[in-house]
């Protein structure tokens, strides 16, 4: 039975332990299709996804991405799949947004697309974790990523080995959302 959107949002957690079980390509493609449909500023679609499911390559990427000061992200090396989320910022839309408003629209766009991916993965019974803390230069080097693409985050993907107990730790709604006037 498929989960409702509400169930998907409530059950999604960042999972850092994965089962020793490969992820089917069809499921990865379904997540990518969900990401592809995300909205973006001026419909520029600045996201690019590099899927690493070759285990030997994933080891080389992990050894570089999650070492030294990035060791806290090492758990992701055990995920069967890593998604390198890259941006190809549109010169015009992004420069204008940054210069005029100080907003990096492409980062918003990538965040939305990444979360589409993650929510679809949740629907399919997969586990994910956003990883912003990784050796960006190392990843670029190992994967020979051209300068037109900028890695922004990694999403680890796999079947969950365990579910963390407890509820989401979140601010109360009244601390973060208001009607008509700022109250905080």
Ligand X SMILES: Cc1cc2nc3c(=O)[nH]c(=O)nc-3n(C[C@H](O)[C@H](O)[C@H](O)COP(=O)(O)O)c2cc1C
The contact set with ligand X (CB under 6 A) reads 13-14, 73, 129-133, 153, 168
Alpha carbon distances (Å) from 108 to 46, 103, 123, 124, 173: 10, 9, 23, 25, 22
Least CB distance from residue 92 to ligand X, whole Å? Answer: 25
Q: Which is nearer to ligand X, 96 or 103 (CB)?
A: 103
Q: Do residues 31 and 121 touch, judged by C-beta distance below 8 A?
A: yes
Could you give the CA distance from residue 97 to residue 150 in angstroms, rounded to a whole number?
Answer: 18
Q: Which is nearer to ligand X, 96 or 130 (CB)?
A: 130
Cβ atoms within 10 Å, residue 15: 23
Residue appearing with tokens 């989960």: 3
Strand ranges for the chain from DSSP E: 47-52, 81-87, 127-131, 150-158
Least CB distance from residue 82 to ligand X, whole Å? Answer: 12
Q: Which is nearer to ligand X, 79 or 131 (CB)?
A: 131
Q: Which is nearer to ligand X, 96 or 112 (CB)?
A: 112
Least CB distance from residue 179 to ligand X, whole Å? Answer: 25
Least CB distance from residue 70 to ligand X, whole Å? Answer: 8
């Amino acid at each position: 039975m498929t989960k409702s959107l509400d169930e998907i949002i409530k059950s999604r957690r960042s999972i850092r332990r994965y089962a020793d079980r490969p992820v089917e390509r069809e499921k990865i493609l379904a997540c990518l299709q969900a990401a592809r449909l995300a909205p973006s500023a001026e419909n520029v679609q600045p996201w690019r996804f590099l899927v690493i499911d070759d285990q030997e390559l994933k080891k080389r990427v992990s050894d570089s991405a999650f070492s030294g000061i990035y060791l806290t992200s090492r758990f992701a090396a055990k995920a069967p799949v890593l998604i390198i989320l890259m941006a190809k910022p549109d010169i015009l839309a992004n420069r204008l947004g940054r210069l005029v408003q100080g907003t990096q629209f492409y980062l918003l766009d990538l965040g939305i697309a990444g979360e589409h991916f993650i929510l679809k993965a949740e629907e399919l019974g997969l586990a994910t974790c956003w990883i912003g803390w990784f050796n960006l230069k190392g990843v670029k080097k190992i994967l020979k990523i051209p300068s037109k693409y900028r890695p922004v985050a990694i999403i680890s993907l796999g079947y969950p080995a365990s579910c963390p107990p407890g509820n989401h730790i979140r601010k109360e709604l009244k601390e973060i959302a208001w009607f008509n006037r700022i109250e905080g």
